[in-house]
C-alpha cells in the first residue's frame, strides 16, 4: 500500500497508515471500505478479514483514550480482540496517479485521458481532482443521469446546479468534499464540476458568477467508493507479481451519513 499510496503524499493534517495491528501478523484476507464504522467491522469479522483498508481515518485528531466507551474505541477493541488490523489511505490516495478521483472519473463516464485538477507542487502528474473530456458533448441533464447510474446508489439523488440543457464536454471531478477545488474547477474551463458536500454559500456564489462550470453534488461515500475496487486490484496484482496471494473484498455496505430522504 505504501508503494502505491506513499504516506508522504498525505496532507499535513491527515492521519494515514496503520491504525491498529501487528506488522508481523500474516494477512490473507483484506476488506476494502470507505469508512471504519461498526457495520464495516461486522463485515470484516463475518468475512474473516485479517486487515481492513479504509479511505477515511478512524482517528483524524489525537486521542488520549481508546476505551470502548465510544464507537471508535469499540471498533479498536473489536479489531484487536479478533486480530484484525486497520490501515488508512486517505489524502495520499486522493493525489495518487491513479487515485480516488481517477476511479470517480471513470465511474461517471470519462474514458479518455485524465489530468489533475489541482496538480501537486512536487509532481504535477499527481494531484487533487481530475479533469477529462467526454467522447461527445451531452446536455448537462444527460451527463447527470449517466453520473447517477455510474455511481453506487445511496439514499439521495445527485443535486445539479446549472441549465439542464447546457452542453457538457469537459468534466472536472473530485472525490469527497470538493469545496476547496471550486476555484480550480472554474479556472480549468470545465463545463461541469462533480464533487460532494457542497454548501449553499460557496455553491450559490459560484453559480451566480458567470462563466464557470455547472455543479453536481453527489454523496460523499458514493464519490469515493469507486476507488476501492481500483485499490484492491492494484494491491492484489502487485502482491501477486511477488508471488503473494491475498484475497480482497470491496465492502458494498453504504456507509454514507445520509440514510433516507423524504418522498
* Closer CB to Zn ion, 129 or 176, in the complex: 176
User: How far, in Å, CA of 263 to CA of 256, rounded?
Assistant: 19
Closest separation between CB of residue 10 and Zn ion, Å?
13
CB distance 33 to 251 below 8 Å: yes
| C-alpha distances out from residue 154 to 42, 108, 150, Å | 20, 15, 12
Closer to Zn ion by CB, 101 or 188: give it. 101
Dihedral sign computed on CA atoms, order 13, 7, 9, 244 = negative
Q: Provide the minimum distance between the beta carbon of 52 and Zn ion in the complex, in angstroms, as a whole number.
A: 16
| Cα gap 111→2, rounded to integer Å | 27
Cell (9 digits) for 155: 439514499
Between 36 and 176, whose beta carbon lies closer to Zn ion?
Answer: 176
Minimum separation from the CB atom of position 177 to Zn ion (A):
7
Minimum CB distance to Zn ion smaller for 191 or for 224: 224
Is the CB of 102 or the CB of 224 nearer to Zn ion? 224
Min dist. Cβ of residue 55 to Zn ion (A): 6
Name the minimum Å distance from CB 220 to Zn ion: 6
Q: If we measure between CA atoms, which residue out of 169, 184, 180, 88 comes closest to residue 130? A: 184
Contact pattern from residue 57 through residue 96 relative to Zn ion, giving x for each residue in contact according to CB under 5 A and a dash for the rest: ----------------------------------------
Residue 116 in the binding site for Zn ion (CB under 5 A): no
Residue whose CB is less far from Zn ion, 72 or 162: 72
Distance in Å, CB of 83 to Zn ion, minimum:
27
Burial of 79 (0-12, 13-18, 19+ CB in 10 A): buried
Choose which of 36, 176, 213, 226 interacts with Zn ion (CB under 5 A): 176
Cα 114 from Cα 32, distance rounded (Å): 24
User: Binding marks (x or -) toward Zn ion, 187..226, rule CB under 5 A?
Assistant: -------------------------------------x--
- Residue placing its CB nearer to Zn ion in the complex, 132 or 176: 176
Distance CA 140, CA 215 (A): 10
Of 153, 147, 57, which Cα lies nearest the Cα of 109? 147
In which region does residue 121 sit, left (phi positive, over 0), alpha (psi from -120 to 50) or beta (all else)?
alpha
Residues that bind Zn ion (CB under 5 A): 176, 224
Amino acid at each position: 500500500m505504501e508503494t502505491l499510496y506513499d504516506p508522504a503524499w498525505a496532507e499535513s493534517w491527515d492521519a494515514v497508515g496503520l491504525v491498529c495491528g501487528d506488522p508481523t501478523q500474516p494477512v490473507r484476507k483484506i476488506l476494502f471500505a470507505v469508512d471504519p464504522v461498526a457495520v464495516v467491522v461486522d463485515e470484516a469479522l463475518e468475512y474473516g478479514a485479517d486487515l481492513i483498508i479504509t479511505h477515511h481515518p478512524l482517528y483524524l485528531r489525537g486521542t488520549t483514550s481508546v476505551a470502548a466507551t465510544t464507537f471508535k474505541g469499540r471498533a479498536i477493541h473489536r479489531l484487536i480482540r479478533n486480530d484484525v488490523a486497520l490501515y488508512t489511505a486517505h489524502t495520499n490516495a486522493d493525489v495518487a496517479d491513479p487515485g480516488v478521483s481517477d476511479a470517480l472519473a471513470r465511474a461517471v463516464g470519462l474514458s479518455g485521458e485524465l489530468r489533475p485538477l489541482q496538480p501537486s507542487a512536487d509532481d504535477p502528474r499527481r494531484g487533487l481532482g481530475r479533469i477529462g473530456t467526454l467522447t461527445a458533448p451531452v446536455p448537462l441533464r444527460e451527463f447527470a443521469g449517466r453520473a447517477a447510474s455510474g455511481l453506487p446508489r445511496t439514499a439521495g439523488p445527485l443535486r445539479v446546479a446549472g441549465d439542464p440543457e447546457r452542453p457538457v464536454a469537459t468534466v472536472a471531478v473530485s472525490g469527497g468534499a470538493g469545496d476547496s477545488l471550486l476555484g480550480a474547477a472554474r479556472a480549468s474551463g470545465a463545463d461541469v464540476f462533480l464533487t460532494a458536500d457542497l454548501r449553499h454559500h460557496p455553491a450559490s456564489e459560484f453559480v451566480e458568477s458567470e462563466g464557470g462550470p455547472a455543479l453536481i453534488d453527489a454523496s460523499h461515500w458514493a464519490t469515493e467508493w469507486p476507488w476501492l475496487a481500483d485499490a484492491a486490484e492494484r494491491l492484489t496484482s502487485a502482491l501477486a507479481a511477488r508471488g503473494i496471494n491475498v484475497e480482497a473484498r470491496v465492502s458494498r455496505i453504504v456507509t454514507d451519513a445520509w440514510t433516507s430522504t423524504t418522498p
